[in-house]
Amino acid sequence: PAQPRERLRVAIQKSGRLGDPARELLASCGLTWRESRDRLFCYGESLPVDLLLVRDDDIPGLIADGVCDLGIVGRNVLVEHGLAREAQGRGVELTEWRQLGWGTCRLDIAIDEEQEWTGPEQLAGLRIATSYPHTLGRWLAEQGVQAEPVVLNGSVEIAPRLGQADVVCDLVSTGGTLRANQLTPVTTILHSEAVIAGPGHQLDDGRQEIADLLLRRLDGAVQLKE
C-alpha cells in the first residue's frame, strides 16, 4: 500500500512532442516548480503538485501502479496500454479525465502509394508493421480481417522498404513521413490528442481536492485558448 500523500504527482513527457506543451499548460494554471538536478522531478512551489518527467510510454503504468496520480499523454498510448492490460486479464484502471485538443494525430493504415485501396479486406494475410499491436488487433477483429502484426518500436514507416512488412499502421499528423517513404494513408483506426489520464476512481488522501483545483484552472486555461 502506498504511503499517504498530500501532494499530487503528475507524470509528463520529459522531452518529445508533448513535454513542452504539457509544462506550458501547467504553468498557465499558475504552477511554478523547482527542478531536480537530474531533471527527473519538479517540486511544485505554488501548489502541492509535483511533476515526474518520463518517457510517454511509461505514463500509463506509473498511474496504474499508483506512483503518479495523473499524467499528460497521447490517447494512442493510453488506449494501447489499456488493451494490453486487458489482454493480460487485468482490469482497465485508467480513463481520460480531460481531452486537451492539442498533440492531435491519427493512427492510420498506410499502403504503398502505387497501390489502390479497396478496403480492409485487402489487408488479409498481410504483415502490418506497427508500434500499436493491440489497437491494431482490435480494429482488425472489428473488420473481421486476419493479418500479421509486426511489432516495431521505431522507424515503422521504413519497414515495407526493408521487406519487413507489407503495409504499416502508424501515427500520422501531416503525412510527410509517410510520403517520404512512398506510403499513403488509407484509413484511420484511432483519432488521438493529448489527454489528462487518471485512475478510474477518485484519488485518496487530500489529493482529489488538489486535483479538482488543478482541473478547474486547467479547464479555464483550455477555454481561454479556444
Under the binding rule (CB under 5 A), the answer on residue 193 touching Zn ion is: no
Cell of 117: 485501396
Map residues 89-118 to x or -, x wherever contact with ligand ATP holds by CB under 6 A.
Answer: --------------x-x-------------
Judged by beta carbon distances under 5 to 8 A according to partner kind, the member of Zn ion, ligand ATP, none in contact with residue 74 is ligand ATP
Cα torsion 105, 110, 114, 118: sign: negative
Place of cell 501548489: 47
| Closer residue to ligand ATP, CB minimum distance, 13 or 181 | 13
| Binding-residue total with ligand ATP (CB under 6 A) | 15
Cell of 166: 507489407
The span from the first CA to the last CA of the chain, in angstroms, equals 41
Q: Is 38 helix (H, G, I), strand (E, B) or coil?
A: coil
Rounded distance between C-alpha atoms, residue 62 and residue 66, angstroms: 6
Map residues 49-88 to x or -, x wherever contact with ligand ATP holds by CB under 6 A.
Answer: ------xxx----------------x-xx-----------
Identity at 5, one-letter amino acid code: R
Under the binding rule (CB under 6 A), the answer on residue 192 touching ligand ATP is: yes
Rounded distance between C-alpha atoms, residue 79 and residue 151, angstroms: 16
Q: Within positions 30 to 69, which residues make up the interface with Zn ion, using CB under 5 A?
A: 56-57
Could you list the residues that contact Zn ion (CB under 5 A)?
Answer: 56-57
Could you list the residues that contact ligand ATP (CB under 6 A)?
Answer: 13, 16-18, 55-57, 74, 76-77, 103, 105, 171, 173, 192
